[in-house]
Amino acid sequence: MQSGTIVNLHIARVKGTPSDPVSDATALSGKGLEGDRSCNENNMRQVLVMDKETLDEFGLAPGQIKENITTTGLDLSQVEPGQVFFVGDVTLEAVGECEPCGKMDAIRQGLREEINHRRGQLAVVLNGGGIKVGDTIRIEP
């Protein structure tokens, strides 16, 4: 079991605009984070979890690549689909890595290729509840 800490939370309310940093968020079972544009029961990309260590390596700020949950202390490169993130009573199931899109090159030319296979893990919300900055997050098979 790996565990880490949530250091930032972001809600992407409107497509094409910067994500809003928040101190807490509500995960809705089967939908995503309340108020986020990806909050939809038909969406398999409900929540993006990214580690701060990788952001730092690429000179990126939390929220810049549109992740919802930024962690420290977790090696997300080891996460496999089907593994579960636990944050208090909230459970998120990993569904796969987030493929970098052309928006990465809008941040910095070449970033899309550089960050390939390292843009974080997409997840769906299995069990909703409150999440806040400072919460412990752990991964289990």
Q: Has residue 14 got a pLDDT over 90?
A: no
Specify the higher pLDDT residue, 51 or 14: 51
In the predicted model, what is the mean pLDDT of the chain?
95
pLDDT of residue 16: 81
pTM for the full model?
0.95
pLDDT for position 60: 97
pLDDT attached to residue 26: 98
Residue that the structure tokens 């079991």 belong to: 1
pLDDT digit string, tens, across residues 66-101: 999 999 999 998 899 999 999 999 999 999 999 998
In the chain, what are the domains? 2-140 (2.40.33.20)
Distance, first Cα to last Cα, the chain: 8
Rounded to the nearest 10 degrees, how much is the dihedral formed by the CA atoms of 98, 100, 101, 107?
130
